[in-house]
Amino acid sequence: MSEFYAVVPARYASTRLPGKPLLDIAGRPMVVWVAERARASGAREVWVATDHDEVAHVVKQHGFEVCMTSIDCASGTDRLAEVAAQLKWPDDAVVVNVQGDEPLIEPELIRATAQTLAGHPDAAIATVCHPLHDIEQVLSPNVVKVVLDKAGYALYFSRAPIPYARDAWARGRELPGALPVMRHVGLYAYRVGFLHAYPRLERPAVEAFESLEQLRAMWHGYKIAVLTTDQPSSPGVDTAEDLEKVRRIMAGQG
């Protein structure tokens, strides 16, 4: 297995759930659960990247390394770029961005994403998708879809329903069984060389309108290798309702 690093961006000032990294789940802060999942993936090193002293203090209390990053980071990718620069990781190193609000993420998926990038030397990024069979999710702008080429590289990401079943949907809104709709899972592995370049890349209009930062990489010609899994992604925590759902699961009730 190729070596890789794991970084957990933990932004304190969440709009919908202030102090989200420190919210209690089954007796431990959410960010600690995520860091433990990252450690179980076999990563060479696990770092929590935060801009908040209290998050840093709690993370260190639980035995994890912390890298303090700027409060002005616009995205988790920008935060990872700061970590890579501060820790002077080599350009060919692989870093997995494990989102800090994914306390149920499978360690095996983290490892597999890193291995996908390691196995595609012409790609700068690797990410994950799984088949989508629910028409409401296909049509939802809150669910990001991806279309792949025959080699498993991303052609495009969108909040729109892609690929679009023109003839079938002219007759109604049933999902054709053979339509290859893939839901994008927001787990990324990056080469450090790309992270160094990312903050200097022009932000294209397509990224701004879709509100999908991975489109910046594609617009500038970087390839994204996509791992396809059969299993839906584990629930993350974006809202108070999500938090209660995850708490029930962690307590063995969900």
Segment 174-179 shows an average pLDDT of 89
Q: Of all residues in the chain, what percent carry a pLDDT higher than 70? A: 99
Asked whether residue 254 carries a pLDDT value surpassing 60, the answer given is: no
Asked whether residue 33 carries a pLDDT value surpassing 90, the answer given is: yes
Model confidence over 19-30: pLDDT tens digits? 899 999 999 999
**Spatial contact of 182 and 193, defined as CB atoms under 8 Å apart:** no
Residue 1 has a pLDDT of 63
- Give the H or E element holding residue 236: none
Residue 165 has a pLDDT of 94
The radius of gyration computed from the CA coordinates of the chain, to the nearest angstrom, equals: 18
Q: Which domain covers residue 190, as residue numbers? A: 4-251
Question: Partners of 29 in the beta sheet?
Answer: 24
12 or 63, higher pLDDT:
63
251 or 4, higher pLDDT:
4
Residue 253 has a pLDDT of 58
Judged by average pLDDT, the poorest of 76-85, 151-160, 189-198 is 76-85
Q: Of all residues in the chain, what percent carry a pLDDT higher than 90? A: 79
Token code pair at residue 119: 């196995």
Model confidence over 75-129: pLDDT tens digits? 778 889 999 999 999 999 999 999 999 999 999 999 999 999 999 999 999 999 9
Measured distance CA(118)–CA(3) in Å, rounded: 9
**Spatial contact of 251 and 243, defined as CB atoms under 8 Å apart:** no
CATH number for the domain harbouring residue 146: 3.90.550.10
Residue 172 has a pLDDT of 85
Domain count along the chain: 1
- Vertex 189: Cα angle to 184 and 191 (nearest 5): 140
Query: How much is the pTM?
Result: 0.93
The beta-strand segments (E) located in the chain are: 5-10, 24-25, 28-29, 45-50, 65-68, 94-97, 125-131, 145-148, 154-158, 182-191, 224-228
